[in-house]
Amino acid sequence: MAATQSTAPAVSHAKRLVVKVGSSLVTNEGKGIDVQAVEQWASQIAQLHAGGKQMVLVSSGAIAEGMARLGWPRRPNAMHELQAAAAVGQMGLIQAYEAAFARHGIRTAQILLTHEDLADRRRYLNARSTLYTLLGLGVVPIVNENDTVVTDEIRLGDNDTLGALVTNLIEAEAMVILTDQTGLFSADPRRDPDATFIALGQAGDPALEAMAGGSGSSIGTGGMLTKVLAAKRAANSGGHTVIASGREPNVLLRLAAGESIGTELRAILPVRSARKRWLANHLRLRGRVTLDAGAVRALTQGHRSLLAIGVVAVEGEFDRGDVVACVDQHGVECGRGLINYSAADTRRIMRQPSQRIADILGSMSDPELMHRDNMVLLRTQTSATAATAEQ
Ligand SMILES: Nc1ncnc2c1ncn2[C@@H]1O[C@H](COP(=O)(O)OP(=O)(O)O)[C@@H](O)[C@H]1O
Ligand SMILES: N[C@@H](CCC(=O)OP(=O)(O)O)C(=O)O
């Protein structure tokens, strides 16, 4: 156990809490659902729920459990086999949680989400209102990615990112990521016996990303890097993150009592509005426009709208209203937002002053290519590192 003196009580103060459990934990390193562990987490969540906290569980393990049920010793590479395994395993996962929570008189709900559900504004708002309704009814939602319908290009893949997106979606004050390590170390402790434990950090600190590696097991997906990036994403809505061992006895109850267990990554980033978070959370964009130095300055220092005159190149095929990235001449994203012109029209009006748009296109719908109200900045001129980890 790696405990330090008590730090800011991220979990104890949270009224709304997201708990994420990883595949290797849930399935006991792929041997099949660890029913005892599931019962222990359910019992702790039930106690926190009884104490007045609204609780959402994001659980991985569908693919690993499906593999165990189908008798597959190795994780397949083919997408259709992964999807089949997820469909089989999700049944077992949800049955185990339903049974465990029912012992405490708590109803559960299965929520399967895809990246597209969260990228489409209308579906995003629907998902949010369903989750709020369930929480209002005292139900514990159990969330996973809808692995059976997602393809390689659009899957989130790791549930750390999904946990952060759910944290943003419902504006939870804290997210606890339970995994098979006691927290974040200066290097992967499976590979480096001299790695030192990190008790406290700031979400979004690039130094943490340098320490975090990929998954050390054949069952987990994202490793520590996706957890550190998830903490940065959760911080966009003010959510603190704790990464702790799911095998630590009463880990959730002790965190809620203010004990410092695991690595706490505090949210100190400025909190973004829900709409700006939705824009920032787009993982796959429809295209990108390259800006000249003056336009980069206008956006990042002047917080101005983007005009066509500042655009020097256009990539991708997008329509009016799609989310498009704004990159500088080195390809570094400085912001993104809803574009007012299609890719074809943008190619025709780029490098041109707004007064010429009507002449070139026959009419002008908007003087700006991207209005600042429909844009989120991912870096300012003085913090160039902020954008890269947001991808
Ligand atoms: N700096 C680090 N500190 C701790 N663990 C790390 C680090 N870098 C990589 N890891 C690996 O990340 C693993 C946890 O991630 P993962 O296997 O994806 O688990 P989960 O299924 O819980 O998401 C650990 O078992 C460890 O081998
Ligand atoms: N949605 C997948 C989870 C992907 C995954 O392995 O995530 P994680 O173990 O959290 O790194 C599943 O249920 O199998």
Average pLDDT of the chain is 90
Query: Which 3 state secondary structure label does DSSP give 202?
Result: strand
Query: Residue 228: left (phi > 0), alpha (psi -120 to 50), or beta?
Result: alpha
pLDDT score of 381? 46
Q: What is the pLDDT of residues 64-104, one digit of tens each?
A: 999 999 999 998 989 899 999 999 999 999 999 999 999 99
pLDDT score of 153? 66
- Decide if pLDDT at 287 tops 80: yes
Task: Find the 362 Cα to ligand 1 centroid distance in Å.
Answer: 56
Residue with the larger pLDDT of the pair 379 and 107: 107
Ligand 1 atom with minimal separation from the 179 CA: 22
Answer whether 337 contacts ligand 2 (Cβ < 6 A).
no
* Cα-based distances in Å from 273 to 10, 156, 175, 237, 374: 21, 23, 19, 8, 12
**Between vectors from CA 77 to CA 71 and to CA 83, what angle results, nearest 5°?**
70
Which DSSP category does 197 fall into? B
Answer whether 145 contacts ligand 2 (Cβ < 6 A).
yes
pLDDT score of 151? 76
Q: β-strands 140-145, 54-59: how paired?
A: parallel
Ligand 1 atom with minimal separation from the 21 CA: 22
Answer whether 357 contacts ligand 1 (Cβ < 6 A).
no
Mean pLDDT lowest among 4-13, 22-31, 257-266: 4-13
Task: Find the 171 Cα to ligand 1 centroid distance in Å.
Answer: 26
Ligand 1 atom with minimal separation from the 159 CA: 23
Topology, domain 16-276: Carbamate kinase (3.40.1160)
Look up the pTM and report it. 0.84
CATH 3.40.1160.10 range(s) for the chain read 16-276
Answer whether 63 contacts ligand 2 (Cβ < 6 A).
yes
* Cα-based distances in Å from 146 to 33, 135, 150, 151: 19, 21, 7, 10
- Decide if pLDDT at 388 tops 60: no
Contact at 8 Å (CB) between 175 and 20? yes
Residue with the larger pLDDT of the pair 383 and 31: 31
Answer whether 159 contacts ligand 2 (Cβ < 6 A).
yes
Ligand 1 atom with minimal separation from the 185 CA: 3
Ramachandran angles phi, psi of 170, nearest 5°: -100, 5
Ramachandran angles phi, psi of 57, nearest 5°: -110, 125
* Cα-based distances in Å from 12 to 179, 211, 256, 274, 288: 20, 27, 4, 24, 42
- What lies within 8 Å, CB to CB, of 287 at 6+ separation is 314, 315, 316, 317, 318, 322, 324, 325, 339, 343
Mean pLDDT lowest among 203-207, 211-215, 237-241, 315-319: 211-215
Task: Find the 227 Cα to ligand 1 centroid distance in Å.
Answer: 9
Contact at 8 Å (CB) between 174 and 149? no
pLDDT-derived band at 274 (thresholds 50, 70, 90) equals confident
- Decide if pLDDT at 188 tops 70: yes
- Decide if pLDDT at 9 tops 80: no
Q: Is 147 annotated as a binding residue?
A: yes
Helices 79-102 & 62-70 angle (0-180, nearest 10)? 100
Residue % of the chain over a pLDDT of 90: 76
Question: For residue 47, how many other CB atoms are within 10 A of its CB?
Answer: 15
pLDDT score of 115? 87
pLDDT (average), residues 356-368? 94
Ligand nearest, relative to CA of residue 114: 2
Q: What is the pLDDT of residues 364-385, one digit of tens each?
A: 989 999 999 899 998 654 433 3
- Nearest Cα to 30, choosing from 156, 217, 194? 217
Cα 141 to chain centroid, rounded: 17
pLDDT-derived band at 8 (thresholds 50, 70, 90) equals low
pLDDT score of 243? 97
Q: Give ipTM to 2 decimals.
A: 0.97
Topology, domain 285-385: 2.30.130
Distance CA 132, CA 141 (A): 10
pLDDT-derived band at 276 (thresholds 50, 70, 90) equals confident
Task: Find the 92 Cα to ligand 1 centroid distance in Å.
Answer: 24
pLDDT score of 220? 67
pLDDT score of 383? 37
CATH 2.30.130.10 range(s) for the chain read 285-385
pLDDT score of 213? 79
pLDDT (average), residues 316-335? 94
Ligand nearest, relative to CA of residue 208: 1
Q: Is 159 annotated as a binding residue?
A: yes
- Decide if pLDDT at 52 tops 70: yes
